[in-house]
Amino acid sequence: MAFRFVHTADIHLDSPLRSLALRNPDLAELVGDASRQAFVSIIDLCLAERVDALVIAGDLYDGDQTSMKTARFLASQMTRLHQAGIRVFKIRGNHDALSRISKQLVFPDTVTIFGGRPQSVLQTAGGLDVAFHGLSFANPKAPESLLPKYPAAREGAVNVGIMHTSLAGSPGHDVYAPCSIADLHGHGFDYWALGHIHVRQVHPGASTVVMPGMPQGRDINEAGEKSVTLVTIRDDRSVEIEEKLTSIAQFERASVDLTGTVEWSEIVGRVRSALEDIRGSVRSRHAVVRVGLAGASPLSWALIRDRDLLLAEAEQAAEQTGDTWVEKLELDLAPQSAETADDVADPIFELAQSMRADVKSEALRAEARALVQKVIADLPPDVRDFAGGDEAGLELFIDKVLATGADLVTARLKAGGAQ
C-alpha cells in the first residue's frame, strides 16, 4: 500500500492579462482562461491517479478578486474531489491574503484551509498515518521565517509540511517567510510542500523539499513547461516524486537569424520554420511564441517600417502550424552601412546617427520623461508599471523608446517614405 497526493501552488486563478488584451484579444482570451483549465487538469489528474489528497501550497487566487464566477468554478472543482473522497489541504499565500474570495468561500468538510496559527491534521490512508502541518499568513508580507512556528514531527506518522516561502530569495519574487533548505531538512519532516517561487525546484536530502513551480505560465517571463508534483509515500516511508505536465498554453522564445536574406518571402519562411520547430518541441496544447529577429539584411529598414505586416505574416504562419500563437515580434536588426554602393555618404543614415546621438541629450530626455510621466499619471494605478516600476526602469524605457523612434523614422525614409 502507499499514500499518494498531488502537490501544487501558485495557480493564480483569473490573473489579469492586460498587455495581451491590448494586442490580441483572442490570445488574451486563451491565456486568460488557461489558469482555470490548468486547475481542471490538476483535478482530472487527482481523479485519474486516485490519489488520497491534493495539497495547495498557497496563491490559489490572484489578489483582490470578488468574481462570483471564480467562486462557482472553485466550488464545482472542490465538489468533484469531495465526491471522490479526496482530501484537500490548502494554505494561504501572499496573494491569497489579498483575496476577498479566500475569506468568503465555504468548501466541503473534506477541504482543510490552514489558518494563521500552526495546525496539524492527521489522515490515514494506504496503510499509513500522514500528518499534514500547515500555516497561512493573513497579510501579503511575511518578512520573518515561519519555520519556528511549525510543530515537531509527529512520532509514528509520515510528516508533510506545507509552507509558502521565498526560501533564500529568488529573482522576481518578493521576500516572503524566508528560510534555508538546510533548516527545512533539519526540521524532521518527510516532505516539504512549498509554494511562492514559480520555477520548479527539487531539493533531496534528509527530507524531500519540492517547490513545484506554477501549473500555468501567464506571460513570456514564465516560459517553459509548467507542472505539478505527484507524490507517492511507500510503506517504508520512502518518497517518490513525478513531475506531471499541466500547462495548457506554453510560452516560448524563437530566435530567427535574418543574415543574408534578400527577399521578404525568405524571411517569412525562416519565421515559419522557427515556429514549426517550437511547435514540435512543445508538449502543451498551445505554443505561445515571442519571435526575435536579428542579423543584417538589406530588408532591415523595410522590416522596421512594415513590422505590422510582418506580424500578420507570422500570425498566419502560426495558425497554419496549428495551436501556435505569436505573442510578439522583437527586432534587433543590424544597421545598414553608412556608405552607399558608390562609396558616397548616405544622408539618411547620417540623420539616423544624429538622432541616436540626440538620445543622450538631457533636454530631449527631460521632455520625453515629462510626457511619459503625464501618461502614467492619467492611467489607472494597476497599469502604471508599463514604463518600469522605478526610476531606473523609467530611464531604460525612455532609452528604448527614443532609439526605436529613430529607427522607425530612418526606416520610413530608407524604405520609400511613409505609407
Count of structural domains, the chain: 2
Residues 274, 233: one domain? no
Domain final residue, candidates 245, 268, 295: 245
**Other Cβ atoms within 10 Å of 277 Cβ, number:** 13
Burial of residue 80 (CB within 10 Å: 0-12, 13-18, 19+) is middle
Q: Which residue, 245, 268, 300, sits at the end of a domain? A: 245
Identify whether 148 is part of a domain. yes
Is the CA virtual torsion 193, 198, 201, 206 positive or negative? Answer: negative
Query: Are the C-beta atoms of residues 329 and 314 closer than 8 Å to each other?
Result: yes
Domain boundary among 214, 245, 276: 245
Q: In this predicted structure, what is the pLDDT of residue 137?
A: 78
Q: Are residues 180 and 65 in the same domain?
A: yes
The low-confidence residues of the chain, meaning pLDDT below 70, are 17-22, 63-67, 94-105, 140, 169-174, 335-346, 348-360, 380-384, 403-419
Q: What CATH number did the domain enclosing 134 receive?
A: 3.60.21.10
233 shares its domain with 338: no
Q: Are residues 82 and 121 part of one domain?
A: yes
Distance CA 399, CA 316 (A): 32
H/E stretch holding 335: none
Same domain, 213 and 268: no
| pLDDT for residue 341 | 45
| Measured distance CA(356)–CA(359) in Å, rounded | 5
- Give the three cell numbers for residue 88: 484537500
Q: Does residue 354 lie in a domain region?
A: yes
Does residue 93 sit within a domain?
yes
Answer yes or no: do 278 and 135 share one domain.
Answer: no
Instruction: Specify whether 87 is located in the same domain as 14.
Output: yes
Per-residue DSSP letter, 360 = T
Between CA 143 and CA 206, with CA 93 as vertex, the angle to 5 degrees is: 80
- For residue 418, what pLDDT is reported? 41
**Helices 347-358 and 391-414 sit at what angle, rounded to 10 degrees?**
170
- Cα–Cα distance between 128 and 156 in angstroms, integer? 9
Instruction: For residue 144, give the nearest of 114, 113, 166, 173 by alpha carbon.
Output: 166
176 and 305 share a domain? no
Yes or no: say if 230 and 47 are a contact pair by the CB < 8 Å rule: no
Determine, yes or no, domain membership for 361. yes
Q: What's the distance, CA 254 to chain centroid? A: 17
The verdict on residue 419 lying in a domain is no
| Pairing relationship of beta strands 191-195 and 227-234 according to DSSP bridges | unpaired
pLDDT at residue 21, rounded to an integer? 60
Give φ, ψ of 91 to 5 degrees. Answer: -115, 160
Q: What is the DSSP letter of 223?
A: -
Pairing state between β 249-257 and 239-245 = unpaired
CB-count exposure of residue 35 (10 Å: 0-12, 13-18, 19+): buried
**Residues 281, 197 within the same domain:** no
Beta bridge partners of 396: none
**Residue 8, Cβ neighbours under 10 Å: how many?**
28
For residue 48, is it within any domain?
yes
The secondary element (H helix, E strand) that includes residue 89 is strand 87-91
Which structural domain, as residue segments, surrounds residue 126?
2-245
Question: What does R_g of the chain's alpha carbons equal in angstroms?
Answer: 26
Q: So what's the pLDDT on residue 339?
A: 42
On the CB side of 303, how many CA atoms lie within 13 Å of its CA? 28
Do both 213 and 290 map to the same domain?
Answer: no
| 372 part of a folded domain | yes
* Digit-coded pLDDT (tens) for 334-374: 765 544 444 456 676 666 666 666 666 787 778 888 888 88
Domain-located, residue 75: yes
85 and 109 part of one domain: yes
* 261 and 326 in a common domain: yes
